[in-house]
Structure 1
């Protein structure tokens, strides 16, 4: 992650905290990242040197006019400085700062079916303690190839109790 993205994220985070709009800013930043990720043509246009700075700022204002003003101002600033390619890193850095402040960690839980709220809460309670956080923000991903059980990804840690992994381990033991 670039130092510039981290600095922009920290400045935006401090501003959001000061004005008590951290959750709103985080939600808007996630939306900005999603928009750029799902519409590569827009992203390519925004980072194109052929687009004048004035038109780029006008486009940002038009696209994100419903968003939080701190987010819009930050996007404008990084656009003016030619760093729009670092938007994704800025969003990730902001989310990390926000999560750390709240004692939350993002987690991906792969399962063969959709988890109930009760199961999510139980997983959050157990695994949050293991990673030293208060709770987990769980994204449930359906993966029928697991056959059964769960696979959790929390940061760079993976906890795997899926049947497919157990079968693969058993196969390695039997075959050698």
Structure 2
């Protein structure tokens, strides 16, 4: 995450705190982040030096027309400062800052296939035990390359119980003994 994106996110969070709209903006930023993440075309438009700033602003205000005025102001400021490429990172930074302020721990679990409800509940229980926090959000990423098992990340803690990792360990042990 760039320092500039974090600065913009902090400014937006400060404005939201003044207006008591932190939760509304949290919803906005989740929507903005997901929309940008899911659209390769939108990412290209935001990065493009060829597309005029005004056209970017019009497109973004249309795409996010259902969002709050603060989100619209953020879009205008980013466009005016020629920083539209930061919008996704600003949204992500805001989400992280908001979660930190609320004491919410975000855990990422990477699996080869989507989590079942039963496994999700077990992972949530483990994360709550590890963090000591009742406020936990679980994000599931699917990566078939890990073959099976899972990788769990909470803050700077990572627990790798993937089959790919176990194969790697076996391979290293085997090559040491030759």
> TM-score band (shorter)?
0.7 to 0.9
Instruction: Provide the C-alpha distance between the structure 1 equivalents of 2:161 and 2:22, rounded to a whole number of angstroms.
Output: 35
- Relative to the length of structure 2, the TM-score reads 0.76
**For 1:143 and 1:3, how far apart are their aligned partners in 2?**
29
Q: Which residue number in structure 2 is paired with residue 84 of structure 1?
A: 84
CA distance in 2, matches of 1:60, 1:143: 31
Distance of 2:60 and 2:47 partners within structure 1: 12
> What root-mean-square deviation, in Å, do the aligned CA atoms of Structure 1 and Structure 2 show?
3.0
The Cα of 1:126 is off from its aligned counterpart by 2.5
Is the Cα–Cα contact under 8 Å of residues 61 and 75 in structure 2 kept in the other structure? no
- 1:26 aligns with 26
> What TM-score, normalized to structure 1?
0.76
Task: Verify the 8 A CA contact 1:60 1:75 in the aligned structure 2.
Answer: yes
Q: Secondary structure in 1 aligned to 2:34?
A: helix
Structure 1 distance, partners of 2:32, 2:19, is: 20
Task: Give deviations 1:118-176, integer Å, cap 9, x for gaps.
Answer: 53243233334535654432122344554543221334542112334234323432442
**Partner residue in 2 for 1:152:** 152
Q: Deviations over 1:1-23 (max 9, x none)?
A: 44432222112112323444333
Q: CA deviation at 1:74?
A: 0.9
Does the CA-based 8 Å contact 1:103-1:134 persist in structure 2? no
Measured against aligned partners, the alpha-carbon deviations of 1:99-121 in whole angstroms (never above 9, x if no partner) come to: 10122232221234443445324
Q: What stretches of structure 1 of length at least 5 have no aligned partner? A: none
What are the residue-to-residue correspondences of 1:44-63 with 2, within 5 Å? Answer: 44-46=44-46, 48=48, 51-63=51-63
2:166 corresponding residue in structure 1: 166
Distance 2:84 2:2 in 1: 12
Equivalence map 1:1-176=2 (5 Å): 1-46=1-46, 48=48, 51-131=51-131, 133-176=133-176
CA distance in 2, matches of 1:91, 1:161: 31
Residues 124 and 135, structure 1, Cα contact 8 Å, conserved in 2: no
Paired residues, number: 176
